[in-house]
Structure 1
Amino acid sequence: MLIEQFHNKTVKIEDFQTTYIILSIENKTFRFDFKNKKESFVKKKEIGVLALYKQHPLLINHNETYCETYINSSPEKIDLFVDDIQKSIEESLKGWRHWKDYIKIKTGINEQVFLQNIQKGSGKLLNAPFSILEKLEKVCSKHHVLIRHFGDKIIKPHQLLMINNQFVIAEDFIFRNT
């Protein structure tokens, strides 16, 4: 049984653990195990509409490899450059994550170092999924800023199961008899 057949159906979260979720759908109970769960935010039992996504702003971090990016020249207008970076990243995230996560998490730098590196035109800029890097490249081109990135562009498909504002991201959701 595939979880896809329950997309847009009203479900009730009966139980959940770190490795599975049990849902009541049309008066029947189904257990779905998480294959290689990457992230979850399931906190309470509730009724809602099940949505399953293969493309979603929350999936960017898991579907795409990260590229480490370094700045090699400084912009004329630092504030405008930073604003454009923020806008380009937020355009991809659509409010689901914070743009500064790609500066602070997995980079070893903080916002102050990020701004210093931009000012001096040298150093680590961010570490982000490659679709965000592609938008960053356009911003850098607009501001005549040189960057260099490291990392391969590889897609690793994951799925997002969402019920109201609760979600699980995993490679797959596997049906198990309850």
Structure 2
Amino acid sequence: MIEIETFQNKQIEIKDFKTTYIVLKFNNELFRFDFKGKKEAFLKQRENGILKFYIEHPLLLNYNESNLEVFINSKPENHNEFINDIEQTINKSLQGWRNWKDYIEINTGINFEIFNKNVENGTGKLLSAPISIIEKIELICDKHNVKIKTFGKKQTFKNELIFINNQFIIAEKFLNNYETIKDYS
């Protein structure tokens, strides 16, 4: 059985894909990989490209770490500087792959306006983010003498990411359970 890692940094062709699998062509052979526990995908077209495989990447943060909810319990001295430090800290972790405001506005029940008001008042929900980001937020709060409370269970998970050009798939595992097929097209 061939693992997807075998194709790391190799020129491959996406021959076919559906919501549950991808078929890759390499050296005139076809390899089908099923997505076990697919989390996120951006697959739009069949094309040639270099396959990149990751078990650590900023896109994997949302899937490899549980989210913790953060509530603010005191006011920062400088509201704008505090928010700017949070933005810079999250952006450094994300390296441009996601929007820092996603951790404020997605699955939190608040929006940026409420976040801003909560910081200004020193009370209420701040955000929900993966463990490693929260650990950095805690340092920002210490720097600004802001008290926070976190809720949630700290858990880690294993997921994988493949990139082919600007297309990607995140899944728990890419499974090749099939014989390779010769392709003479």
Q: TM-score range by the shorter chain?
A: over 0.9
CA distance in 1 between partners of 2:44 and 2:117 (Å) = 39
In structure 2, the residue matched to 1:74 is 75
CA RMSD across the alignment: 0.7
In structure 2, the residue matched to 1:52 is 53
Alpha-carbon distance, 1:176 to partner: 3.2
Alpha-carbon distance, 1:168 to partner: 0.3
Equivalences, count:
178
CA distance in 2 between partners of 1:110 and 1:4 (Å) = 39
Q: Which runs of 5+ in 1 are unaligned?
A: none
Question: Aligned letter for 2:155?
Answer: I
Alignment of 1:21-36 (within 5 A): 21-36=22-37
In structure 1, the residue matched to 2:171 is 170
Structure with larger Rg: 2
> What are the superposed Cα offsets for residues 61-120 of structure 1, whole Å, 9 maximum, x if unpaired?
000000010000010111000000000000000000000000000100000000000000
CA distance in 2 between partners of 1:145 and 1:25 (Å) = 54
TM-score by length of 1: 0.98
CA distance in 1 between partners of 2:137 and 2:17 (Å) = 38
CA distance in 2 between partners of 1:70 and 1:149 (Å) = 6
CA distance in 2 between partners of 1:54 and 1:160 (Å) = 6
CA distance in 2 between partners of 1:28 and 1:176 (Å) = 15
In structure 2, the residue matched to 1:113 is 114
TM-score by length of 2: 0.95
Secondary structure at the counterpart of residue 108 of structure 1: coil
Question: Aligned letter for 1:61?
Answer: N
CA distance in 1 between partners of 2:148 and 2:18 (Å) = 43
Secondary structure at the counterpart of residue 4 of structure 1: helix
Moved beyond 3 Å, runs of 4+: none
